[in-house]
Structure 1
Amino acid sequence: MLLGAPELLKTESRSVVVRAQVRGGPVSGVILKHFRDDPVCGLDDWAGAEFLTQRGLELGPRFLAGALESRLFVLEDLGRGPTLEALLRGEDARAAFGGVMTTARLAGQLHARTLGTQAEYELVRQALPPRHERVRVENARFLLEHEGRLLRWLAAVEAEAAPGLHEDLEAVARSLADPGPFLAFTHGDLAPSNVLFAPGGARLIDFEYAGMRHALYDALMWLVTVPFPDELVARADIAYRITLSSQCEAAQVDSQWARARATVALARTVNLFQWLHPRVLEEDREWAPGFSERAALLHHLARCRALLATADGFPGLARTLEALESRLRERWTVPPHVWPALRQEGL
C-alpha cells in the first residue's frame, strides 16, 4: 500500500492531522493523527475510534492501525464534506436545521448502542498506556475541587450563595461519577465542528475527549452550550430522547429525564464559571467565533434555568445561579447570537 502526497489538515501543540490518498490498498484514503503534547487526549481519541470500529458502529471514522512508540494512529478517510458548523454559517436554513436534527439522532444512536459496554471499552482503553482515572470521575472531581471559583464570581458581583449550594454540587458530582442507567460511550466534545456530513452520511470526528460518562453530556450541545432557537432545541431534544429510549428505559420516564438534563446542565454551567475568570466583568473576549464570553455565560445561565424549571431538586444551586444571573444581567446587555443560516423568521 502506497500513500500519495500528504495534505496537512491541522497542526497545533496537541496534534498533527494529515490526509493522504492510498494507492493499491483496501481504502481510497486515510487520516494520520500524530499526538504530541497531550498523550491522554491522543490515546482517548485512539481508543474511541478503535472501540467503535470493534463494535461495528459506523458513527465515526474506522480505525485502521496505530503505533504507540510513534504516537500515531491511522483512520479511514471519510471524504470531504461540510461540518455542522459550516452548515450553520451558510445560507441554507433547511440544511442547517436538518443538520442539527441529524446530529441529535446520531448522538442518540451512539449512546443507545453503547449502554452497558463499560467493560468492553475499558479493555480497549486500558490496553493502551492506561488512564489513571476514568473521565467521568475527572469531570466530577473538577466540579467539586473548584467550587471556590464559583464563589469567587459570587463575591465579585456581590451575590450570596444560597443554603445547600455545596450539597447540591456534591449531588451533581455523584451523578456525573455514577450516571447509572445513563452510562454510555460519549464523544465528549460534541461541537458543530466535530460533526462531518461526509459522502457516506453524517459521522462524528475527533474523539479526543471521549469516554464512558453520562450520555446527556453530549446532548449539552443543543441543550446548553450552542445557541439555537427554542423550537430547534425542543425538536432536537425529542429526536435524541426517542432514539436513546429505544435502549434506555430511564429515558422514557419524564421525571428521570428532566433530572438527567438538569444534572448535566448544572455541571456545565458551573464549569463555565470555573473555567472563566471574573476579569470578564471588566473585559469581554471571544469565547467561540462570533460568541463572546459574556454571551456564553448569560446563555448558559438562561438555558440552565429553563431546564431546572422542569426538574425537581438542586434548590440551593438553582437559587445561587439565579442570583448570579440577575447580577450579571444588571451589568451586561448582550445581543443573542444567531447563526447566519438560522436568521430567517421562524427558525
Structure 2
Amino acid sequence: MSPPPDGVSPAVAAIEALLTASVGTRTAIGRIERLHHPWVLRAHAVEAPGLPGTVIVKCLRPEGYGLRSAEELARCEHAALTFIADDLRLGLAPRLYAASPDSRLLVMEDLHPRTELAGQLRRDGLTPVLDDELTAFARSAGELAAASVGRAALFGVRRTALGTGAGQLDDWEHAHIGLWRNGLAGAAAFGVPLPAAAERDLAAAVAELADPGPFLALTNGDTEAHNFLTGPGGRGRLTDFEGAGFRHALTAAACFSVPGPNWLGVSGAGQVAAFRRALARTVPEAEDDQRFGFGLTAASMVWVMMRADRLGTLDARRPGDDSRTQMVALLESGARTAEAYRALPHLAGWCWSTAALLRRRWPDSDIDAAAIAPYTWRER
C-alpha cells in the first residue's frame, strides 16, 4: 500500500512502473516504509526478478538547500551515482537501479544492514573498531577523489544531459567557499574582526580552494560520518551525493582535522594519512608536505570561518550549551592544524586569541579540550 499523502512520497504505481521499465520484467511493491526523511523511503518488493527484496526510493525534496534547488539536488545525485558506477567503476556508493527522466524519483540499492558511522560513534564513542571504520571512511573518500581526478568535464556532461545549466557547474562556489563571507562579517559584528594579516591568510585559503589545480576532484559535498554506512561483512559505502561536485579534494579531508557540526572534537591523524595515501595514487602532489598541508589547512580554516557566523547566536545561549564548547574547540583545532603544517600563521593567531576571549566570556566553555573524548556528540 502507498504511504499517506504528504506532498513528497510517490505512488507505489510510479515506483513499480519505473522499476519495471528499468529491469524489463514486471515489478510489484508490497509496502513502503518511511525512513529518516519523508523523501527517503524503503520499498519492499513482492515481485522483482533481478532485484533484491528492498530498494531505497529517493524523491524530490520539498525545497533545496545551500546553493542548489531541490531539482538540481536530485539531478546531481542522479549524475553522481551514474558517474561513479559507470565511468569510475567504483563500488563506493549505492547502485542506482532506476531514475525518472526528470530525476525526481531515484531508486537505488538498499545498504541495510549497514548503519551510519555517526550513529555508532554517538552510541559507543571512539572504540578501536570504530577508529578502523573512520579510517575506512577516509580511505573511501580519498579513493573517490583519486579516481575522479581529471574527469570533471565528463561529470559535467552527465549533469548537463540531465538538465543542469552551464552556469550551475561551478562547484567550487559551494558551502565550503561562499559562506566564509558570513563568518567574516559575524566575527566583526561579535567584536573579533580579523586583523589585516589574518584577512590576507584567509584570502590565500579561499584562493587555494577556488583554484585547486591537481587537487580538483569529486566529493559528495558533505563528507561527514553520517554519510558513511558501515557494517559487518561488507565494505562501507559513501552516501548522499546531492551536493556532489568537483572541488578541492581536501575539503573532503577537513572533517578529520576540525570537528563538523555533530562533534565537540575529532582525532583524525590516522584518517588524514589514509585519505592522503589514497589520493596520492593519482595525485603525486599529495605527497608534497607543503602542498598537501596548505590545502588541508585552507579547507579546515575556511570551515572554521563558516562556523564563525554563529558567534552571536551562541553568545545568546544559556551557559553550559555544548555549542559554545564546540566553537572554542573548533577554533583551537583549526589553529593546531595550521601550526602542524606551518601554514596561515596569522589566521591561526586569530583563532587562538578568539578562543581565549570566548573562554573568558563564556566561563562554562573554559575547559581542558584535551579531556574531551574525540567524537563526543554535541548535544543540541
SS at match of 2:115: coil
The CA distance in 2 between the partners of 1:340 and 1:248, in whole Å, is 30
Asked if 2 retains the 8 angstrom alpha-carbon contact of 1:46 and 1:73, the reply is yes
1:164 to 182, 197, 201: 197
Superposed CA deviations along residues 23-44 of structure 1, whole A, max 9, x for unmatched, are 2332203211011322232222
1:321 and 2:351 aligned: yes
Correspondences of 1:101-250 after superposition (within 5 Å): 101-131=135-165, 132-133=167-168, 134-139=170-175, 142-143=178-179, 145-146=181-182, 149-156=183-190, 158-198=191-231, 200-226=234-260, 227=263, 232-250=267-285
SS at match of 2:90: coil
Superposed CA deviations along residues 90-128 of structure 1, whole A, max 9, x for unmatched, are 348232222111111111111111111101111111222
Q: For residue 218 of structure 1, report the CA deviation from its aligned partner.
A: 1.4
SS at match of 1:108: helix
1:292 and 2:322 aligned: yes
Q: For residue 163 of structure 1, report the CA deviation from its aligned partner.
A: 2.0
- Partner residue in 2 for 1:266: 301
The CA distance in 2 between the partners of 1:299 and 1:43, in whole Å, is 37
Superposed CA deviations along residues 262-303 of structure 1, whole A, max 9, x for unmatched, are 1101110001113x25131121599xxxx8321221121111
The CA distance in 2 between the partners of 1:296 and 1:41, in whole Å, is 29
The CA distance in 1 between the partners of 2:138 and 2:175, in whole Å, is 23
- Partner residue in 1 for 2:41: 18
Q: 1:7 to 1:143 in 2, by over 3 A?
A: closer
The CA distance in 2 between the partners of 1:309 and 1:284, in whole Å, is 32
SS at match of 1:113: helix
1:48 and 2:80 aligned: yes
1:34 and 2:59 aligned: yes
Asked if 2 retains the 8 angstrom alpha-carbon contact of 1:101 and 1:236, the reply is yes
Name the aligned partner's letter for residue 80 of structure 2: G
The CA distance in 1 between the partners of 2:77 and 2:322, in whole Å, is 28
SS at match of 1:59: coil
Q: 1:25 to 1:175 in 2, by over 3 A?
A: farther
User: Which protein, 1 or 2, shows the higher relative CO under an 8 Å CA cutoff with sep ≥ 6?
Assistant: 1
Q: 1:306 to 1:19 in 2, by over 3 A?
A: same
Name the aligned partner's letter for residue 32 of structure 1: V
**5+ long unaligned stretches in structure 2:** 1-26, 65-69
The CA distance in 2 between the partners of 1:69 and 1:241, in whole Å, is 37
Q: For residue 143 of structure 1, report the CA deviation from its aligned partner.
A: 4.3
Q: 1:239 to 1:11 in 2, by over 3 A?
A: closer
Would you say how many aligned residue pairs link Structure 1 and Structure 2? 330
Asked if 1 retains the 8 angstrom alpha-carbon contact of 2:228 and 2:236, the reply is yes
Q: For residue 214 of structure 1, report the CA deviation from its aligned partner.
A: 0.9
The CA distance in 2 between the partners of 1:140 and 1:279, in whole Å, is 20
Name the aligned partner's letter for residue 20 of structure 1: A
The CA distance in 2 between the partners of 1:223 and 1:300, in whole Å, is 10
SS at match of 1:26: coil
Name the aligned partner's letter for residue 171 of structure 1: A
Q: 1:87 to 1:242 in 2, by over 3 A?
A: same
Moved more, 210-219 or 128-137: 128-137
Larger radius of gyration: 2
Q: 1:217 to 1:141 in 2, by over 3 A?
A: closer
Name the aligned partner's letter for residue 59 of structure 2: H
Asked if 2 retains the 8 angstrom alpha-carbon contact of 1:100 and 1:236, the reply is yes
The CA distance in 2 between the partners of 1:285 and 1:98, in whole Å, is 35
SS at match of 2:59: strand
- Partner residue in 1 for 2:11: none
Asked if 1 retains the 8 angstrom alpha-carbon contact of 2:265 and 2:376, the reply is no
Asked if 2 retains the 8 angstrom alpha-carbon contact of 1:284 and 1:292, the reply is no
The CA distance in 2 between the partners of 1:341 and 1:175, in whole Å, is 31
SS at match of 1:90: helix
Superposed CA deviations along residues 36-55 of structure 1, whole A, max 9, x for unmatched, are 32223222222221211222
Q: For residue 305 of structure 1, report the CA deviation from its aligned partner.
A: 0.6
The CA distance in 1 between the partners of 2:103 and 2:352, in whole Å, is 49
The CA distance in 1 between the partners of 2:177 and 2:222, in whole Å, is 18
Superposed CA deviations along residues 235-274 of structure 1, whole A, max 9, x for unmatched, are 1111221121111111101111111111101110001113
SS at match of 1:225: coil
What TM-score comes out, normalization by structure 1 length? Answer: 0.85
CA RMSD of aligned residues (A): 2.7
- Partner residue in 1 for 2:108: 75
Superposed CA deviations along residues 213-250 of structure 1, whole A, max 9, x for unmatched, are 111111122111245877x4111111221121111111
Asked if 2 retains the 8 angstrom alpha-carbon contact of 1:2 and 1:25, the reply is no
SS at match of 1:20: strand
- Partner residue in 2 for 1:345: none
The CA distance in 1 between the partners of 2:103 and 2:337, in whole Å, is 45
